[in-house]
């Protein structure tokens, strides 16, 4: 499991997912992960923007990945608007137009800083600010705390969060894996309906936690749901939440029950795919952490 290239192989990913799901603490781990993700959403409006759909959840790591490839003797390397747009286009993360809008937003909110070229004002290189790094470190710390329950070998990585050399190596491994083309979502196809909607995965994680420890890891029986409460919690409209649930019903992934449709039954296929998705995330982050722990990386460029 220590080779990041192995995690890009579909068969290896499937085997790793199965192994993690068989771990006796897997249920505890994914529920801790879900609680951590939802807690970050509550604490940070910007985090909710980053986590509103699947592409935006990856953006923060993508900018650090490109920044980690910067060289002091080449201002066109590293994180530049054109290289970020190319990365987004080549990986299918988002369109170049949306990539440009994301960079503009992140600069406006102080999550990216511009580095002026001393000889050529036409060249703009960007770097993640401490504000962005702190946000991503909070997310990573919660994920590592959950993952260590099923992968205790990554425990040293928790203490290295915040160390530039570790973060640079970690971002490089994650970026290289993402560029290789394999996607965790391929092992959880029914999750696409939720991953491509604003707050879709967050809503599904809330339903997972609603079942209680006795019905873990994902409730098989009816779980209580409040459309209004979900809309308030994740800052989306009630219509948006209701449409998502209705679309999931139409796809055979959910069933509303109760006299007022106040409970939801998640299908076996969706329950299975949600666990695959979370196990896949655990595997990729753990593999990258092990690789980063053993790498001899230089500090992030200033």
In a domain, 302, yes or no: no
Q: Per the structure, how many domains does the chain have? A: 2
Strand partners, 126: 79, 114
In whole angstroms, give the CA distance from residue 18 to residue 23. 9
In a domain, 251, yes or no: yes
Is 150 in the same domain as 241? Answer: no
In whole angstroms, give the CA distance from residue 86 to residue 84. 5
10-residue mean pLDDT profile of the chain (302 residues): values are 59 94 95 91 60 63 88 79 92 89 89 77 82 89 97 96 92 91 92 90 90 69 89 91 95 89 90 96 96 69 42
Q: Give the pLDDT of residue 298.
A: 43
In a domain, 213, yes or no: yes
In whole angstroms, give the CA distance from residue 285 to residue 23. 17
Is 48 in the same domain as 180? Answer: yes
Q: Give the pLDDT of residue 68.
A: 86
Is 219 in the same domain as 236? Answer: yes
In whole angstroms, give the CA distance from residue 230 to residue 227. 5
CA dihedral defined by 94, 99, 103, 109, rounded to 10 degrees?
A: -50
In whole angstroms, give the CA distance from residue 223 to residue 225. 6
Q: Give the pLDDT of residue 293.
A: 94
Is 125 in the same domain as 24? Answer: yes
Q: Give the pLDDT of residue 259.
A: 78
Which residue range(s) make up the domain with 254? Answer: 189-272
Is 153 in the same domain as 30? Answer: yes
Task: Tokens for 123, please give them.
Answer: 């060249």
Q: Give the pLDDT of residue 198.
A: 84
Q: Give the pLDDT of residue 44.
A: 58
Q: Give the pLDDT of residue 159.
A: 95
Is 50 in the same domain as 137? Answer: yes
Is 92 in the same domain as 141? Answer: yes
pTM recorded for the entire structure: 0.88
What does each C-alpha distance from 107 to 43, 48, 61, 83, 132 come to in angstroms? 21, 17, 16, 16, 10
Q: Give the pLDDT of residue 297.
A: 44
């Amino acid at each position: 499991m220590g080779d990041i290239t192995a995690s890009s192989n579909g068969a290896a990913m499937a085997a790793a997912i199965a192994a993690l799901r068989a771990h006796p603490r897997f249920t505890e781990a994914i529920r801790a992960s879900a609680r951590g993700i939802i807690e970050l959403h509550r604490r940070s409006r910007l985090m909710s923007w980053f986590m509103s759909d699947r592409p935006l959840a990856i953006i923060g790591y993508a900018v650090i990945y490109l920044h980690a490839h910067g060289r002091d003797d080449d201002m066109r390397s590293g994180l530049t608007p054109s290289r970020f747009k190319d990365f987004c286009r080549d990986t299918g993360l988002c369109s170049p137009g949306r990539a440009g809008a994301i960079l503009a937003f992140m600069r406006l909110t102080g999550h990216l800083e511009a580095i002026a070229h001393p000889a050529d004002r036409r060249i703009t290189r960007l770097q993640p600010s401490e504000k962005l790094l702190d946000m991503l470190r909070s997310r990573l710390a919660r994920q590592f705390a959950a993952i260590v329950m099923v992968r205790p070998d990554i425990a040293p990585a928790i203490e290295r969060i915040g160390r530039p050399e570790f973060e640079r190596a970690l971002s490089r491994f994650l970026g290289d894996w993402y560029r290789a083309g394999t996607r965790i979502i391929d092992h959880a196809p029914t999750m696409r309906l939720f991953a491509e909607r604003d707050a879709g995965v967050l809503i599904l994680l809330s339903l997972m936690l609603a079942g209680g420890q006795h019905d873990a890891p994902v409730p098989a029986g009816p779980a209580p749901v409040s459309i209004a409460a979900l809309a308030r919690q994740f800052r989306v409209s009630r219509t948006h939440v209701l449409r998502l649930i209705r679309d999931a019903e139409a796809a055979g992934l959910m069933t509303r029950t109760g006299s007022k449709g106040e409970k939801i039954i998640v299908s076996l296929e969706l329950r299975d795919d949600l666990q695959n998705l979370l196990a896949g995330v655990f595997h990729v982050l753990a593999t990258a952490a092990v690789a980063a722990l053993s790498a001899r990386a230089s500090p992030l460029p200033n």
